[in-house]
Amino acid sequence: MPNRNNRRKEKTPRGNVGPQETGASPGGWGRWILPLALLLLLLAFMSSTRKEQGTRIPYSVFKGQVEAGNVESVEAESDKLWGRLRQPIEVDVPARGKDAPVKETVEEYRTTLPPFGDEQLMAQLEAANVEVISHGEGSQWFGSIMIALLPLGLFVGVWFLLMRRAGRQLGGYSAITKSRAKLFSLERPRTTFDDVAGAHEAKADLKQVIEFLQNAEPFRRLGCSVPKGVLLMGSPGTGKTLLARAVAGEAGVPFYSITGSDFMEMFVGVGAARVRDLFEAAKRTAPCIVFLDELDSVGRRRGTGIGGGHDEREQTLNQLLSEMDGFEENQNIVVMAATNRPDILDPALMRPGRFDRRIVVDMPNLADRKDILAVHARHVPLDEGVDLAVIARGTPGMSGADLKNLVNEAALLAAKQGKSKIDASDFSEARDKVLMGSERQSLHLNDEERHAVAHHEAGHALVAFLAPHSDPIHKVTIIPRGQALGVTQQLPTDERHNYTRSYLKARLNVLLGGRATEVAALGSITTGAENDLVQATELARKMVTSWGMSDRIGNVAVEDRSGSVFLGEQLAQRRVYSEQTAREIDIEVKRLVDEAFDNAMGFIQENRNGLEVLAEALEQREVLEGKDIEELLSGAGAAREREAVAV
């Protein structure tokens, strides 16, 4: 359909919607008044002084040089005379800041006729064979007039600027109500599905939208209605905005992009006016896509704010609902939006006729991560030994944005070391930096602290190696990274989407392994287990209140999931259980944590030799890979227990 695309390209405006489309605003030339006045003043000054050259001398001295035949030329304009002497002379010239005049050699002179004139001067000049040049008085008149009119011009210019600023303050409402949406037209580089790796299910759902935007006639002949609103839901960094731009690129239509916060302003009614302006611009360029990013900032459930339903955000949402349900049948406009909080959106947004198609953009799996890495690695030089499949296997849980950042960090590390290509070690170091934080090389531990941190991390590693259903160890380090003095990193072998109680209990065992080691091996506990205790307590509470993994509480979700749209959500949550149940929850949470501590203590006491081997190796080498830990513990006689049936 080339002809159709060409027609669309001609009518597609460029730039931003609103004031940016129309260029300069009326009266925009006002800012040039002051520079123009200064330029005219400069011209007037130059016209009045450009021909006056040389040193000023008294008229009597000039007249004496004429009689002596020492004047070579004279130029005259009005009462001003200037020119050259045949032989330089010395003249007493008044000096600023001195009582007595100073001698100055004069070759080029200038002087002024006396007020009563000199009728004999011309005859004397002719007799002395002096070259005489006469200038008209036009330029002098011009300079005099401009100098006289300059104060009036400055006054008018300042008055105009002040009135224009006052007009913006008093009558600028029409400008701030313009939509701030950015329009990506066809002349710009387009994003297509080739630039979006993974998200195969989302792409399949969006292809129907592309077909509708390219040619809506087959859909109308069958009497079907293509969804007007498409809501992309997913975690941050999964590529929701990129998918929306890819739909516009595949369909070859204009793409209006705006965030929910761009509708909000300090003046009442501005948000609703911007919504109207946005959809009016979209109707003029249909077929097109209107993309609302971070929809939850303006589309939160109504009736939850202070003051009822009359706040500015709710009025903006009301206008958005009205515009989405007010399209005519022949207008090919698709509204797309992205959010990572679909649970707090107003129900009116989700009903049929508005955002009736909801597409979940999941976190990438192993195959998707490999494809995403390949997309971002296209523009960087890779060493032949780099295997993207291996890198993808070691990055579970990373989003597309995380993987892009991983490639960039690897490139930065390679550039820092002066390499011409990025190798596998750069990716390994970049992954550790992303997952565990940057190395804090300026932080030096004393021998006692180093000994305690080594035993703490060795305890985590030992329990992770021995506990059934635990993820394999990837790396253990006692080099301070981020906010931690040491880190034990585990990576799952397979993609996990559902977690068993046995797996979560193994996770609790590993979290309490560091504290158990402090008690068993050091004889004193430290503050290094703070984060471990926080994570263990939160995980145990989730197991009891949300996932029904406590025999004492039973298969009951006692946590209120209805949610609150306030920022202080935990403060606003309703309690849906009694005080007795709350006490039972606390008892169960403590029981799970204590049970995990006892299990970890048992692993450590039964394998003290392996613990000391690991701790000593960490103190010497600072970093141990997973295979190194397995060799050390196997050599020390530690053997991983047979995994029981997961429950």
Side-chain-facing half-sphere of 568: CA atoms under 13 Å: 3
3-state helix, strand, coil in the chain (%, to 5): 50, 15, 35
- Is 183 in contact with 13 (CB distance < 8 Å)? yes
- Positions annotated as catalytic residues are 457
**Cis amide leading into 287 (omega within 30):** yes
Residue type, 133: I
User: How crowded is the C-beta side of 410, counted as CA atoms within 13 Å?
Assistant: 27
Q: How many residues does the chain have?
A: 647
Name the DSSP class of 81: E
CA distance 32 to 209: 49
CA distance 107 to 53: 11
Alpha-carbon distance values, 523 to 157, 516, 602 (Å): 83, 10, 16
Its sign, for the CA torsion 641, 643, 644, 647, is: positive
Give the whole-angstrom CA distance, residue 318 versus residue 309.
10
Positions of E strands within 312-407 = 333-339, 357-361
Most distant CA atoms of the chain, gap in Å = 131
φ/ψ of 254, rounded to 5, equals -60, 155
Tokens read off for 107: 């070759």
Between the alpha carbon of residue 335 and those of residues 41, 320, 355, 397, 594, the distances in Å are: 57, 11, 8, 30, 52
The whole-angstrom separation of Cα 276 and Cα 254 is: 18
C-alpha 629/C-alpha 474 separation (Å) is 9
C-alpha dihedral, 272 to 320 to 275 to 356, nearest 10° = 170
Distance between CA 75 and CA 132 in Å, rounded? 6
* Pair 475, 623: CB distance under 8 Å: yes
